[in-house]
Amino acid sequence: MQASWNGTVIASSDDIVTVEGNAYFPAESLDAACIRPSSHRSFCGWKGEALYYDLVVDGKENPNAVWYYPEPKEAASNIRGRVAFWKGVTVG
């Protein structure tokens, strides 16, 4: 599978975990040149606290388009070390 935004592949892997309809890619498959840390946070009752990255591709920004759970709760341990996408990122 690949994740792309603004005409650029930002992640690619055959090792995908799907949770609640979202494809979680291994964090190491994410192109580090396309992300920067965001201060945004959210909380899921069964997964834990999510942190975010902004996407930056060819000078265009997509705030908080990548999320991950650095310390997921036990029920979501299968997404540790993985990232997922939204906000116009194409996954397929």
User: Could you state, in order of their start, the residue ranges of all structural domains in the chain?
Assistant: 2-91
pLDDT (0 to 100) of residue 90: 98
What value does the mean pLDDT take over residues 17-37?
Answer: 97
CATH class of 2-91: mainly beta
**Can you tell me the mean pLDDT for 1-17?**
97
What is the per-residue pLDDT across 46-82, written as a single tens digit (0 to 9) for each? 999 999 999 999 999 999 999 999 999 999 999 999 9
pLDDT at residue 29 in the model: 98
* Nearest by Cα to 34 from 18, 58, 13, 12: 58
Question: Average model confidence (pLDDT) for the chain?
Answer: 97
Output the six-digit token pair for 76: 């979501």
| Residues in contact with 82: Cβ distance below 8 Å, sequence separation at least 6, in sequence order | 17, 24, 25, 26, 27, 68
